[in-house]
C-alpha cells in the first residue's frame, strides 16, 4: 500500500508538471520579450526612476542587480533591527546585528536560511513587508539573469547588450510570480493553511492544558515560498507545521508549486534562444536527475528500519505521521533538487543514505531542476562544459547555440563551476578547524561532519534547509554562512552575465556537419554525465568521510 501511495504521488506531480511545462514556459517567454508595459509596471518604474526601455550592457545590468540587492539587504536589515518598535510585532524582539545581517542576506540571495524560530523571532510586519517581498523579488532576479543569458545566445553583434534588468525584474514579479502566488494562496487556504493577522491565541490542548498558538499571514507567504524556490517558513517547523501544510494533498500541492516554475523555465529558455529543442534537452536532463533522486531517497526512507535498526521508530523519526516516509522523501528530494530548502520532515533524521542523497542534490549545484532561473543558467553553464569536452575529443572549436566558445568564455564557465565547491569546501574546513566552528557541532564523528557540510552546501547553493543538530545561531556561523550565501549567489551571477555579454557581442555561426547536436538524447546523456562527474567528483572525499562512513557504520 505504501509503495502504491508513493508511486501515485510521484505520478500526480509529474502529470501536473508535464501539463504546465509548455503553457507556463511560453507565457514567461512572452512576458520577457513583450514590448508593452502595464500601467502598474510604469508606476513602479517612475517610483524607481529608471528607464525600462534602455538596453543595458551586461556590466550595467549587473550593477543594477547588485544595487537593487544591496538596497534590499539594508532595508531588510533595518526592519529586523527595528521590528520591536513597529506595528504587528506580536511580541517579537529586535534581532541582534549579526542575526539581522544573516536574515537580510539569506532572503535577498533566495537562500532563506533561518537561524531563528519564525514564530518567536519575526513579527507579522517583518514577515509580510520584508521576508515575503524578498521571496518575490529574489526569485525574479533569477529569472532576469536567465533571460539575459538567453538574449546573449539569441543576439549577434550587440556589443554586450543583454536587456534591461528593471524591466525583467518587474515583469517577472507582476506578470508571472504574483498571479501564480495568488492562485496558490487561495488553494492553500482552501486546504486549511491559515491567513490572518492574529497574534497569540490561547487554545485548549487534548490533555486539558493551554497552549499559545500564533496566527498570521501564512498562506500568502507559503505560496511564494514554494513558487519562488525560497523555503523560509513562517513557523520553525516549516512545512511540517499543520498551519503551513495541514494535509497530504496540500503536501503534494506544495511539491508541485516548488517544482512548477523551475521545470517550465527550460521551455522559456528554448523559446528565447529560438530553438525549443534546446529547452527540451535541458528539461530532460533536469527531470532525469530529479527522478533518480526521488527514487533513491524514497528507497532509503521506506527501507529505513533495515538501514537504521538502532533508531527509535525507524525511518519515521523526525517525520509527520500524516505524510509518512514516501511523501517526506518526495518533498526532501524536490526541495534539495531545487534551491527551495523548505522541509516537511527533519532532514537530520533522514537515514544516512537518504541524508547523503539530499546533500548530493545540493552539491550538484542544484540543477535538478534548481532554483527559479538559477537552475536553467546553471545547467546551461554545465552544457557549455559538456560541449567543450566533446570538442576536445574530436579536435574542434566548441560551439553552443550558434556561438563559438573561445578561451574567455570557457574561463568564465570554469570560474562559475568552481565557485560553489570553493565556498563549500573552504567554509567547511574553517568550521571543523576553528574552535568557534567546532563549538556548534553537537554530534561528533561522521554525522557531525555531515551536519557541517550540509550547512555550507545549503548556504553556498542558496538552498536554506539544514541538519538541525548544528548550532548555527552564533556570530561565527551567522557570519560564515552569510558570506557563503553572498558568494554562492552573486559571483556566479556576475560570471554568467559577463558570459552573456560576450555571447551577445559575438556573431552567430551557421551549423555545419561537424557541429555537435545539443538537443539529442545522446547529448542529454553526456550532460548528465558531466553534471555527475565534473561537479560530483569534487566532493567524493568529504562525502566518503560523512554520509558514506555513517551508512557503513
Q: Other CB atoms closer than 10 Å to residue 340's CB: what's the count?
A: 34
Here the contacts of 274-277 (C-beta below 8 Å, separation 24 or greater) are 274/154, 275/401, 275/519, 277/519
Residues shown for the chain: 553
Q: What pLDDT, on the 0 to 100 scale, is given for residue 427?
A: 95
Preceding omega of 369 cis (within 30 degrees of 0): yes
The alpha-helical segments, DSSP class H, found in 395-445 are 407-433, 435-438
Cα 243 to Cα 107: distance, rounded to the nearest angstrom: 22
pTM of the shown model:
0.95
Phi, psi of 441 (to 5 degrees): -85, 115
- HSE on the CB side for 363, CA within 13 Å? 29
Q: What is the pLDDT along the chain (553 residues), one digit of tens a residue?
A: 677 888 899 999 999 999 999 999 999 999 999 999 999 999 999 999 999 999 999 999 999 999 999 999 999 999 999 999 999 888 899 999 989 999 999 999 999 999 888 888 999 999 999 999 999 999 999 999 999 999 999 999 888 899 999 999 999 999 999 999 999 999 999 999 999 999 888 888 888 888 888 899 999 999 999 999 999 999 999 999 999 999 999 999 999 999 999 999 999 999 999 999 999 999 999 999 999 999 999 998 887 655 554 444 457 888 999 998 999 999 999 999 999 999 999 988 888 888 889 999 999 988 999 999 999 999 999 999 999 999 888 777 789 999 999 999 999 999 999 999 999 999 999 999 999 999 988 887 888 888 899 999 999 999 999 887 888 888 899 899 999 999 999 999 999 999 999 999 999 888 887 788 999 999 999 999 999 988 778 898 888 888 888 777 7
Q: What is the pLDDT of residue 516?
A: 87
Q: How far apart are CA 154 and CA 44, in angstroms?
A: 28
Alpha-carbon gap, residue 521 to 537, rounded angstroms: 23
Distance of CA 326 to the CA centre of its chain: 22
Contact 300, 276 (CB under 8 A): no
Q: CB of 251 within 8 A of CB of 6? A: no
| CA atoms of 303 and 506, how far apart (whole Å) | 53
Q: CA 143, CA 272: separation in Å to the nearest integer?
A: 12
Distance, in Å, from the CA atom of 143 to the CA atom of 374, rounded to the nearest integer, reads: 7
Distance, CA of 389 to CA of 384 (rounded, Å)? 9
Q: What is the DSSP string of 229-273?
A: T----SSTTGGGSTTTS-SHHHHHHHHHHHHHHHHHHHHHHHHHH
The separation between CA 78 and the C-alpha centre of its own chain, rounded to angstroms, equals 25
| Assigned C-alpha cell, 298 | 524514497
Please give the C-alpha separations between residue 172 and each of 386, 489, 505, in angstroms, as whole numbers.
Answer: 30, 19, 25
Q: How far apart are CA 497 and CA 418, in angstroms?
A: 16
List CB contacts of 286: < 8 A, sequence separation 6 or more: 262, 263, 266, 367, 368, 369, 370, 375, 379
Backbone angles phi, psi at 57, to 5 degrees: -70, 160
Q: What is the pLDDT of residue 310?
A: 46
Contact 163, 56 (CB under 8 A): yes
Q: Do residues 414 and 389 make contact, with C-beta atoms less than 8 angstroms apart?
A: no
Residues 6 or more apart from 283 whose CB is under 8 A from it?
21, 263, 266, 267, 369
Q: Domain-by-domain residue ranges, the chain?
A: 374-552
Number of Cβ within a 10 Å radius of residue 295: 15
Amino acid at each position: 500500500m505504501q509503495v502504491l501511495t508513493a508511486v501515485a504521488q510521484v505520478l500526480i506531480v509529474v502529470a501536473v508538471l508535464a501539463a504546465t511545462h509548455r503553457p507556463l514556459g511560453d507565457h514567461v517567454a512572452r512576458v520577457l520579450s513583450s514590448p508593452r508595459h502595464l500601467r502598474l509596471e510604469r508606476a513602479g518604474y517612475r517610483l524607481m526612476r529608471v528607464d525600462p526601455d534602455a538596453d543595458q550592457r551586461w556590466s550595467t545590468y549587473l550593477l543594477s542587480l547588485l544595487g537593487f540587492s544591496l538596497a534590499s539587504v539594508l532595508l531588510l536589515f533595518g526592519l529586523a533591527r527595528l521590528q520591536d518598535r513597529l506595528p504587528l510585532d506580536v511580541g517579537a524582539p529586535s534581532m541582534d546585528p549579526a542575526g539581522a545581517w544573516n536574515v537580510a542576506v539569506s532572503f535577498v540571495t533566495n537562500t532563506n536560511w533561518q537561524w531563528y524560530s519564525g514564530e518567536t523571532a519575526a513579527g507579522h510586519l517583518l514577515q509580510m513587508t520584508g521576508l515575503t517581498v524578498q521571496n518575490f523579488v529574489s526569485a525574479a532576479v533569477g529569472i532576469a539573469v536567465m533571460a539575459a543569458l538567453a538574449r546573449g545566445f539569441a543576439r549577434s553583434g550587440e556589443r554586450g547588450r543583454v536587456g534591461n534588468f528593471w524591466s525583467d525584474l518587474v515583469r517577472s514579479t507582476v506578470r508571472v510570480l504574483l498571479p501564480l502566488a495568488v492562485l496558490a494562496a487561495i488553494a492553500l487556504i482552501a486546504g486549511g493553511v491559515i491567513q490572518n493577522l492574529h497574534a497569540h491565541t490561547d487554545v485548549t490542548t487534548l490533555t486539558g492544558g493551554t497552549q499559545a498558538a500564533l496566527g498570521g499571514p501564512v498562506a500568502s507567504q507559503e505560496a511564494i515560498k514554494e513558487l519562488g524556490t525560497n523555503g523560509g517558513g513562517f513557523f520553525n517547523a516549516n512545512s511540517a507545521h499543520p498551519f503551513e501544510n495541514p494535509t497530504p494533498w496540500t503536501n503534494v500541492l506544495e511539491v508541485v508549486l516548488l517544482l512548477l516554475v523551475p521545470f517550465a523555465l527550460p521551455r522559456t529558455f528554448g523559446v528565447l534562444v529560438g530553438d525549443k529543442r534546446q529547452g527540451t534537452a535541458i528539461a530532460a536532463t533536469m527531470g532525469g536527475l530529479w527522478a533518480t533522486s526521488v527514487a533513491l531517497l524514497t528507497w532509503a526512507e521506506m527501507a529505513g528500519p533495515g538501514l537504521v535498526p538502532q533508531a527509535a521508530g525507524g525511518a519515521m523519526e523526525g517525520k509527520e505521521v500524516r505524510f509518512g516516509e514516501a511523501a517526506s522523501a518526495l518533498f526532501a528530494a524536490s526541495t534539495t533538487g531545487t534551491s527551495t530548502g523548505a522541509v516537511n520532515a527533519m532532514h537530520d533524521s533522514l537515514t544516512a543514505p537518504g541524508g547523503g542523497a539530499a546533500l548530493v542534490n545540493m552539491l550538484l549545484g542544484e540543477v535538478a531542476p534548481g532554483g527559479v532561473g538559477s537552475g536553467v543558467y546553471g545547467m546551461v553553464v554545465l552544457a557549455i562544459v559538456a560541449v567543450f569536452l566533446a570538442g576536445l575529443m574530436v579536435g574542434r572549436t566548441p560551439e553552443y547555440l550558434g556561438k563559438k566558445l573561445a578561451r574567455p568564455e570557457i574561463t568564465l564557465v570554469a570560474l562559475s563551476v568552481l565557485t560553489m565547491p570553493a565556498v563549500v569546501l573552504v567554509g567547511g574546513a574553517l568550521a571543523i578547524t576553528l574552535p568557534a566552528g567546532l563549538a556548534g557541532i553537537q554530534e561528533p564523528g561522521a554525522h557531525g561532519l555531515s551536519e557541517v557540510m550540509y550547512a555550507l552546501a545549503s548556504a553556498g547553493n542558496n538552498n536554506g534547509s539544514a541538519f538541525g543538530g548544528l548550532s548555527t545561531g552564533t556570530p561565527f556561523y551567522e557570519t560564515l554562512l552569510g558570506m557563503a550565501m553572498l558568494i554562492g549567489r552573486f559571483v556566479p551571477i556576475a560570471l554568467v552575465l559577463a558570459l552573456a555579454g560576450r555571447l551577445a557581442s559575438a556573431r552567430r555561426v551557421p551549423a555545419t556537419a561537424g557541429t555537435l547536436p545539443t538537443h539529442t538524447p545522446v547529448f542529454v546523456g553526456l550532460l548528465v554525465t558531466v553534471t555527475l562527474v565534473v561537479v560530483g567528483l569534487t566532493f567524493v572525499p568529504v562525502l566518503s568521510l560523512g554520509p558514506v562512513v555513517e551508512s557503513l557504520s
